[in-house]
């Protein structure tokens, strides 16, 4: 692991690091915020997965979560959204290839060699974070848009790894959305049965979630037709999953929406992770 930069923030440290990932077969950049409480011992850890076109940097600079992490004593990990580098396949569209890994393991050409973002998060980066930073084995996960999809699906697939779960404007039903069908077809192939295991609304009915879930969604979001919060809302109700899903009047899809409700989410995770 190489340190790219470290800056003091809210008495803690906002760092940016890179490492060579065996899983994605390329160098990966990620950011970690360590709160001041980490000086006195390991702290719980919240994962924030970003949306389409983002890198590790967007939420790190725009979401304002570090203030809340310092208040509650949580670390926050900001991974990148795809493999990177000249060797990695890409597409001209903003929503396929680099910046659009969808937090799944691609099985199809040309994506399969590097687009293993599911394994990257839960294996490579998880192990690295656990070893290199003062974090407890008490992790939560959240994310925005494509990252909200990633948070929901990775938590439900790996409940042994994540104890708390929330999402901001998640792509909630990708197998029924143009933010999902195109990518699942490219990365996973034509067998739609495989898609269901990567669709939060379907996965919830299949696998469930052993704890509770917080979802915030802007009612003025310009991408509501693609996000399909109604599918997730229905699934949460049908499965009787303890949950809070809030349609926030007037808010759009931007980081102003994320930052506005950031405190609520960090507090949610802090309470459940023992921070």
- Positions annotated as catalytic residues are 145, 221, 253
259 binds a copy of itself (CB under 8 A): yes
Judged by beta carbon, residue 11 or residue 225, the one nearer a copy of itself is 11
Asked if 66 is part of the footprint of a copy of itself (rule: CB under 8 A), the reply reads yes
- The size of the chain, in residues, is 275
Q: In the complex, what is the shortest distance from the CB of residue 50 to a copy of itself, in angstroms, rounded to a whole number?
A: 15
| Tokens 């909200």, located at residue | 148
Token look-up 């407890």 returns 136
How far apart are CB 145 and a copy of itself at their closest, in Å?
15
Smallest distance from a copy of itself to CB 22, Å: 31
Region binding a copy of itself by CB under 8 A among candidate stretches 135-143, 190-198, 233-241, 254-262 = 254-262
For a copy of itself (CB under 8 A), the number of binding residues is: 22
- Compute the C-alpha angle 221/225/227, nearest 5°: 75
Does residue 67 interact with a copy of itself by CB under 8 A?
yes
- 82-83-84-86 Cα dihedral, nearest 10 degrees: -130
Residues 213-232 that bind a copy of itself (CB under 8 A): 218, 220
Beta bridge partners of 243: 213
Strand ranges for the chain from DSSP E: 2-9, 12-21, 26-34, 43-49, 75-78, 135-143, 164-168, 213-218, 243-248
Helices 262-273 and 65-72, axial angle in degrees (round to 10): 30
> Which member of 257, 269, 270, 275 binds a copy of itself (CB under 8 A)?
257
And the tokens for 120? Answer: 């990257």
Applying CB under 8 A, the span of 42-50, 87-95, 160-168, 250-258 interacting with a copy of itself comes to 250-258
CB of 9 to a copy of itself, least distance (A): 4
Query: Does 252 help bind a copy of itself (rule: CB under 8 A)?
Result: yes
List helix spans (H) across 23-145: 57-62, 65-72, 117-119, 126-132
Catalog residues that contact a copy of itself under the rule CB under 8 A: 7-11, 14, 61-62, 64, 66-67, 218, 220, 250-252, 254-257, 259-260
């Amino acid at each position: 692991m190489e340190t790219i930069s470290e800056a003091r923030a809210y008495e803690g440290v906002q760092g940016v690091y890179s490492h060579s990932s065996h899983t994605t077969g390329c160098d990966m950049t990620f950011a970690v915020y360590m709160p001041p409480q980490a000086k006195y011992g390991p702290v719980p850890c919240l994962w924030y997965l970003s949306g389409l076109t983002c890198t590790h940097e967007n939420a790190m600079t725009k979401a304002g979560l570090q203030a809340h992490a310092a208040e509650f004593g949580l670390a926050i990990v900001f991974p990148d959204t795809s493999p990177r580098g000249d060797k990695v396949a890409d597409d001209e569209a903003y929503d396929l290839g680099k910046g659009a890994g969808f937090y799944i393991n691609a099985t199809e050409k040309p994506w399969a060699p590097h687009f293993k973002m599911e394994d990257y998060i839960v294996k490579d980066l998880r192990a690295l974070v656990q070893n290199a930073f003062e974090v407890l084995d008490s992790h939560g996960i959240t994310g925005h848009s494509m990252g909200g999809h990633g948070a929901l699906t990775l938590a439900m697939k790996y409940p042994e790894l994540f104890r708390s779960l929330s999402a901001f404007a998640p792509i909630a039903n990708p197998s029924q959305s143009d933010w999902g069908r195109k990518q699942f077809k490219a990365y996973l192939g034509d067998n739609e049965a495989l898609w269901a295991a990567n669709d939060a609304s379907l996965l919830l009915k299949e696998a469930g979630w052993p704890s509770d879930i917080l979802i915030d969604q802007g009612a003025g979001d310009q991408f509501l037709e693609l996000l399909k919060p109604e599918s997730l809302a229905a699934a949460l109700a049908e499965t009787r999953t303890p949950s809070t899903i809030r349609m926030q009047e007037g808010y759009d899809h931007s980081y102003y929406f994320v930052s506005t409700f950031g405190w609520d989410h960090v507090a949610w995770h802090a309470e459940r992770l023992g921070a």
